[in-house]
C-alpha cells in the first residue's frame, strides 16, 4: 500500500498493459450497458405503475404512425376557423372579426317578413314610404321528430257487387318486415338510433311514449333480430363477397359477454370478429359473432380469400394463413407500443430527446421487433 493506493501489480510490458486496459474497457462498457438496461427497466416499471396509460409521447418520430389522423384533425380545425372579412374604410382595409360562417345553401329557407306598422310607413306629411331594400339575418331551426300513420288504401275493382270472382286489387309494395306495423322509415330510425347513435331500445320506447305512441322495446327488439336474420342478410352476403374479392383484409377479435347463451355462463367470454377491407375509397367492415376464439373461426371467415392478412399476431390465424397460402402482415399499432415503451424507459432523459443507439440492448431489441412486426412475411406464417 503506497499513499493510500493499493498496489495493483501492473505488468511492466507495454503490450500486456494494452491488453489489460482493453479487457477493463470492455468490462466497463458491458457493465455500463447492463446498468443502463436495468435503469430503463426500472423507468418503464415506474411508468407502468404510476404514469398515464396513453401512448402519446413527445417524440416527433411518433408522428410516423398517426400522420393521417393528424392531417385530418388539422383540416377539421382549419375548417372551423372563423374567417376574417375585409372592408375598405377611408382608404384602408379593416378586418372584421367574429364573422359567422354562412349556413349551408342546400337547407330549405322559410322567409318570415317583418313589416313596420302601417302608421310608421308614412312620412310626416302623410306620403307613403318606398321599400328601398332589405336586411336579412338567418337562424338555424329544427322541427322536432313527428310520427304519423301511413294508410295503404288499395282500391278494388270488379264487374258486379255480388260477383267476387272478377275482383282485382292493387298489390302492396314490398316491405322490409311484412305483416308488421313497422314502415321502412320507422325501422331505419330505430336502427340508426340504436347502432349509430348508441340509443338503447328502452330509451327509444320512452321517447315514443312522450309523443303518444305505445311501442314496447320487446317488439322493437324482435324487429331488429328479424332485420338482421332476414332482410339484411342478402346485403351482408354481397358485402362479404366484395370484401373477399380484394387482396387485403385486417382482422381482429374482441371479447364480449352474452346473457343466456346456451351452454355458457353469463360471465364467460364470447367474441366479435371484425374484418376490414374492400376498396380503399369505400372500405367494408363486417362483424361476426362466435362463442369461440378457436382457429376454426378464421378458417370459416377467410374461406376463398387470397392476399394479405394483417393481424396482431394471435396464433389462431396461423391455420388460415397456412390453408389459404396468405401473406401474413404484422400490426403497426403493436410496433408503436414498443416505441412508446422505449420513450417511457428513458425516464427524465426523454424531455431532452431520445438517445438512440444500436449498441444499446433495449433499443436494438425494439428495432428488431419493429422490423419483424412491420414487414410482410411472404409464403409462411409469422413465427412468433
Write down the mean pLDDT value for the chain.
80
Mean pLDDT of all residues in 246-266: 88
User: Quick count: other Cβ atoms within 10 Å of Cβ 370?
Assistant: 19
Q: According to the model, what pLDDT value does residue 94 have?
A: 56
CA 119 – CA 130 distance, rounded (Å): 14
- pLDDT score of 111 more than 80: yes
Under the banding of pLDDT at 50, 70 and 90, the label for residue 7 is low
The DSSP call for residue 228 is I
pLDDT of residue 4: 47
Cβ contacts of 82 within 8 Å, gap of 6 or more: 97, 98, 99, 100, 101
Tell me the pLDDT tens digit for each residue of 337-384: 777 777 777 766 555 544 444 445 555 555 555 555 444 433 333 343
What pLDDT score was predicted for residue 10? 81
What are the pLDDT digits (tens) for 148-157?
Answer: 999 999 998 8
Mean pLDDT, range 189-202, rounded to an integer = 94
Report which of residues 346 and 139 the model is more confident about.
Answer: 139
Q: What is the pLDDT of residue 365?
A: 54
Q: Taking Cα atoms as reference points, which of 37, 69, 46, 66 lies closest to residue 336? A: 66
Confidence of residue 28 (pLDDT cuts 50, 70, 90): very high
The phi, psi pair for 347, rounded to 5°, reads 65, -130
Greater confidence (286 vs 44) lies with: 286
> How far are the Cα atoms of 4, 148, 192, 214, 221 from residue 217, in angstroms, in the given order?
90, 19, 15, 10, 6
Per-residue pLDDT, 337 = 74
- According to the model, what pLDDT value does residue 39 have? 85
Q: Higher model confidence: residue 47 or residue 195?
A: 195
pLDDT at 185 over 90: yes
Q: Which pLDDT belongs to residue 263?
A: 83
pLDDT at 152: 93
Residues 103-134 as b/e (b if ≥16 CB within 10 A, e otherwise) read eeeeeeeeeeeeeeeeeeeeeeeeeeeeeeee
For residue 188, the model assigns a pLDDT of 94
| pTM of the predicted protein model | 0.59
Of all residues in the chain, the percent with pLDDT exceeding 90 is 41
Of 339, 328, 334, 323, which is closest to residue 375 (Cα–Cα)?
Answer: 328
Which has more pLDDT, 67 or 291?
A: 291
Higher pLDDT, residue 53 or 37 = 37
Amino acid at each position: 500500500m503506497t499513499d493510500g493506493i493499493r498496489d495493483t501489480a501492473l505488468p511492466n510490458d507495454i503490450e500486456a498493459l494494452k491488453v489489460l486496459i482493453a479487457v477493463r474497457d470492455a468490462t466497463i462498457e458491458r457493465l455500463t450497458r447492463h446498468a443502463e438496461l436495468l435503469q430503463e427497466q426500472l423507468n418503464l416499471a415506474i411508468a407502468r405503475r404510476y404514469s398515464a396509460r396513453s401512448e402519446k409521447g413527445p417524440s416527433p418520430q411518433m408522428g410516423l404512425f398517426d400522420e393521417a389522423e393528424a392531417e385530418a384533425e388539422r383540416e377539421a380545425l382549419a375548417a372551423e376557423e372563423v374567417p376574417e372579412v375585409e372592408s375598405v374604410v377611408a382608404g384602408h382595409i379593416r378586418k372584421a372579426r367574429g364573422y359567422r360562417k354562412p349556413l349551408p345553401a342546400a337547407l330549405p329557407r322559410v322567409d318570415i317578413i317583418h313589416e313596420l306598422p302601417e302608421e310608421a310607413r308614412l312620412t310626416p306629411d302623410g306620403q307613403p314610404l318606398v321599400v328601398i331594400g332589405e336586411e336579412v339575418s338567418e337562424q338555424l331551426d329544427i322541427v322536432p321528430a313527428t310520427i304519423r300513420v301511413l294508410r295503404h288504401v288499395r282500391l278494388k275493382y270488379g264487374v258486379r257487387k255480388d260477383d267476387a270472382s272478377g275482383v282485382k286489387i292493387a298489390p302492396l309494395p314490398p316491405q322490409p318486415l311484412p305483416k308488421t306495423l313497422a314502415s321502412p322509415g320507422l325501422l331505419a330510425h330505430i336502427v340508426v338510433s340504436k347502432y349509430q347513435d348508441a340509443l338503447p331500445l328502452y330509451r327509444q320506447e320512452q321517447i315514443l311514449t312522450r309523443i303518444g305512441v305505445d311501442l314496447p322495446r320487446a317488439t322493437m327488439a324482435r324487429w331488429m333480430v328479424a332485420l338482421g336474420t332476414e332482410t339484411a342478410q342478402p346485403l351482408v352476403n354481397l358485402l362479404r363477397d366484395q370484401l373477399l374479392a380484394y387482396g387485403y383484409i385486417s382482422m381482429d377479435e374482441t371479447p364480449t359477454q352474452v346473457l343466456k347463451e346456451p351452454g355458457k355462463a353469463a360471465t364467460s367470454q364470447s367474441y366479435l370478429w371484425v374484418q376490414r377491407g374492400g376498396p380503399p375509397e369505400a372500405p367494408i367492415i363486417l362483424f361476426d359473432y362466435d362463442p369461440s376464439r378457436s382457429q376454426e373461426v378464421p378458417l370459416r371467415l377467410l374461406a376463398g380469400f387470397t392476399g394479405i392478412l394483417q393481424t396482431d399476431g394471435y396464433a389462431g390465424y396461423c391455420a388460415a394463413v397456412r390453408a389459404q397460402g396468405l401473406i401474413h402482415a404484422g400490426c403497426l399499432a403493436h410496433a408503436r407500443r414498443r416505441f412508446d415503451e422505449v420513450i417511457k424507459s428513458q425516464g427524465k432523459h426523454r424531455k431532452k430527446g431520445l438517445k438512440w443507439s444500436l449498441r444499446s440492448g433495449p433499443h436494438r431489441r425494439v428495432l428488431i421487433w419493429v422490423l419483424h412486426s412491420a414487414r410482410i412475411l411472404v409464403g409462411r406464417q409469422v413465427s412468433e
